[in-house]
C-alpha cells in the first residue's frame, strides 16, 4: 500500500495507518457502489420473477454496470443531493430498454441497507477469523503456562497465587463469548431489506413478496420479517455494541500487559526490538498494548451514536444516514486494527518467570494468609477469629520476618499447626485450588464453541 506521507491526500488515519487492506477495501467508494449495483441487479431479478420487468433484464444489467464508476455517481450526487437517485439515473440512461425498470418500486434504503448487510457479512467474517487466531494463541499460551505460578492481584494488591495459564484462560473464555455474540447477531443484522417506500411493498402491486424472495435468494440473504422504510436500527446498534464489547475485552488484556510491564513488576512485556523512546534509550514501552487501549476508547464511544440511531421519526428520517457513513466503517476498521495488534502482541509478549517468582516473595509470605486461616478453621478455630488473627499478624510483621516465621512464633496459631503444616500452608504451589481443571474447562469451552 502506498502512503502519501506529508501530503494532503489523507485526513483520517484509518485511510492509511489503522486497519488492514482487506477490511479497508470493503468500505472504499468503488466497493460500496459495487454493492449497490449488486442489490439493484437483485431487485431486477425480483421484478422479473414477479412479471414486473422483462426476462433477461437482470443479465443485461451486467454489461451496463461495467460503465458505472463511483466517481460518476458522486459527481452527480453533488448536483442531485442524492447518491442512490444519482445511481439509478445513470443506470436508467446506460441500460437501454431495461434501464426504465431499474429501481422500480424500490426505495433508496432497499439498496443502502441491503448493501450494508452484504458488507457486514464480509466484514464480520474477517473479524471472526482474526478473533479465532487470537483465542487459539491464548489457548496455546494458557496450556503452556498452566503451572507457571504468579501473583494474583485484586484492587492492585497482592491477593492469592494464581498461574499464568489461569489468567490467560479467563481471556480465552471471555473472548469465546464475543465470538458467540458475533455469530448470533448475524441472523438479526445480515438480512435483506427489500420492501419499498415506508416498507409496505406497494410499488410492486401486490407481488412484493415475490420480488423480495427472488432478490433475497439471489443475494444469499434472508429478508427481514417486516421493516419501515429502513431496516430496524436495533440490529445496527447490536452490531456496534458487540464490536465495542470485543474492543473492551481486548483493552482489558492490553491493560494487563501494560500494568505487568511496569519496571517495578516486569512480569510480562513486549519483547519486540524497536525504539522505546526518542529520548531514553533504555525504555521498553508497551506501545502495541497502548494502541489497543487507545483505539478501544473510540470503539466504546461509537456505541452511543449507534443507540441514538434507533429512535427515528415515524417510518424513517435521515438522522441515521450521516452518522452511519462514519460510524460503520470506523468501528470495523478500528476493531480490525485492534485484532491485528492483539495477534502481534501475543507473538512478542515475554513472560518472565523469574520476575514472577521474585514478586511472589515481596510480601514475605503474607499472600498466603488465607491458606493459614483455612487450616485453622479445619482445626476448630472460628473463621472470624482466624481471620482477625492473621490480619493483625500480617500487618505487624517486622521487616525481614516471613509469614512462616511469624506464624511459628504466634502463641495461638502454633498450638494448632505444626511446623510441617505451616510450611505447606505458605507454599504458593500448594494453594492453587482447581486451577488446572478450570484452565482445561475454559480451553474446552473455546474448542466446543461453534465456528460460524
3-state secondary structure labels for all residues of the chain: CCCCCCCCCCCCHHHCCCCCHHHHHCCCHHHHHHHHHHHHHHHHHHHHHCCCCCCCHHHHHHHHHCCCCHHHHHHHHHHHCCHHHHHHHHHHHHCHHHHCCCCCCCCHHHHHHHHHHHHHHHHHHHHHHHHHHHHHHHHHHHHHCCCCEEEEEECCEEEEEEEHHHHHHHHHHHHHHHHHHHHHCHHHHCEECCCCHHHCCHHHCCCHHHHHHHHHHHHCCEECCCCCCCCCHHHHHHHHHHHHHHHHHHHHHHHHHHHHCCCCCCCEEECCCCCCCCCCCCCCCCHHHHHHHHHHHHHHHHHHHHHHCCCCCCCCCCHHHHHHHHHHHHHHHHHHHHHHHHHHHHHHEEECHHHHHHHHCCCCCHHHHHHHHHHHHHCCCCHHHHHHHHHHHHHCCCCCCCHHHHHHHCCCHHHHCCHHHHHHHCCHHHCCCCHHHHHHHHHHHHHHCCCC
Distance CA 151, CA 162 (A): 6
Distance CA 180, CA 451 (A): 8
Look at residues 322, 397, 328 and name the one whose alpha carbon lies nearest to residue 367: 397
Q: How many CA atoms lie within 13 A of 37 on its CB side?
A: 24
Active-site positions read: 155, 277
Sorted by sequence, the CB contacts under 8 Å of residue 349 that are 6+ apart come out as 257, 268, 269, 270, 271
Q: Residue 115 corresponds to which cell in the numbers above?
A: 448493501
Amino acid at each position: 500500500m502506498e502512503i502519501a506521507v506529508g501530503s494532503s491526500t489523507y485526513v483520517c488515519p484509518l485511510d492509511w495507518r489503522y486497519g488492514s487492506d482487506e477490511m479497508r477495501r470493503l468500505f472504499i467508494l468503488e466497493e460500496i457502489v459495487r454493492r449497490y449495483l449488486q442489490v439493484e441487479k437483485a431487485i431486477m431479478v425480483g421484478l422479473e420473477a414477479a412479471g414486473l420487468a422483462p426476462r433477461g433484464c437482470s443479465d443485461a444489467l451486467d454489461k451496463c454496470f461495467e460503465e458505472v464508476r463511483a466517481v460518476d455517481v458522486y459527481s452527480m450526487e453533488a448536483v442531485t443531493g442524492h447518491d442512490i437517485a444519482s445511481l439509478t439515473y445513470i443506470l436508467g440512461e446506460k441500460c437501454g430498454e431495461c434501464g426504465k425498470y431499474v429501481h422500480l418500486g424500490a426505495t433508496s434504503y432497499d439498496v443502502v441497507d441491503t448493501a450494508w448487510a452484504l458488507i457486514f457479512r464480509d466484514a464480520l467474517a474477517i473479524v471472526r477469523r482474526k478473533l479465532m487466531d487470537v483465542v487459539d494463541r491464548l489457548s496455546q499460551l494458557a496450556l503452556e503456562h498452566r503451572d507457571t505460578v504468579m501473583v494474583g492481584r485484586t484492587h492492585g494488591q497482592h491477593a492469592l497465587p494464581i498461574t499464568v495459564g489461569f489468567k490467560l484462560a479467563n481471556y480465552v473464555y471471555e473472548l469465546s463469548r464475543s465470538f458467540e455474540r458475533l455469530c448470533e447477531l448475524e441472523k438479526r443484522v445480515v438480512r435483506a431489506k427489500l420492501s419499498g417506500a415506508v416498507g409496505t411493498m406497494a410499488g410492486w402491486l401486490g407481488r412484493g413478496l415475490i420480488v423480495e424472495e427472488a432478490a433475497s435468494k439471489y443475494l444469499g440473504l434472508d429478508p427481514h420479517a417486516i421493516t419501515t422504510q429502513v431496516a430496524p436500527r436495533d440490529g445496527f446498534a447490536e452490531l456496534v455494541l458487540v464490536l465495542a464489547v470485543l474492543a473492551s475485552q481486548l483493552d482489558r488484556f492490553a491493560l494487563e500487559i501494560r500494568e505487568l510491564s511496569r519496571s517495578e513488576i516486569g512480569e510480562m512485556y513486549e519483547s519486540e526490538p524497536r525504539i522505546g523512546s526518542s529520548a531514553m534509550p533504555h525504555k521498553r514501552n508497551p506501545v502495541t498494548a497502548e494502541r489497543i487501549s487507545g483505539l478501544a476508547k473510540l470503539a466504546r464511544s461509537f456505541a452511543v451514536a449507534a443507540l441514538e440511531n434507533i429512535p427515528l421519526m415515524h417510518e424513517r428520517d435521515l438522522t441515521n444516514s450521516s452518522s452511519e457513513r462514519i460510524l460503520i466503517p470506523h468501528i470495523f476498521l478500528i476493531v480490525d486494527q485492534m485484532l491485528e495488534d492483539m495477534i502481534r502482541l501475543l507473538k512478542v509478549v515475554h513472560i518472565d518467570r523469574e520476575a514472577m517468582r521474585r514478586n511472589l516473595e515481596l510480601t514475605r509470605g503474607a499472600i498466603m494468609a488465607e491458606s493459614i486461616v483455612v487450616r485453622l478453621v479445619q482445626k476448630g478455630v472460628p473463621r472470624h477469629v482466624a481471620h482477625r488473627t492473621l490480619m493483625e499478624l500480617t500487618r505487624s510483621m517486622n521487616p525481614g520476618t516471613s509469614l512462616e516465621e511469624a506464624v511459628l512464633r504466634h502463641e495461638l496459631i502454633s498450638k494448632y499447626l505444626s511446623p510441617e503444616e505451616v510450611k505447606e500452608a505458605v507454599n504458593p504451589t500448594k494453594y492453587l485450588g482447581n486451577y488446572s481443571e478450570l484452565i482445561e474447562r475454559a480451553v474446552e469451552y473455546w474448542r466446543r464453541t461453534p465456528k460460524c
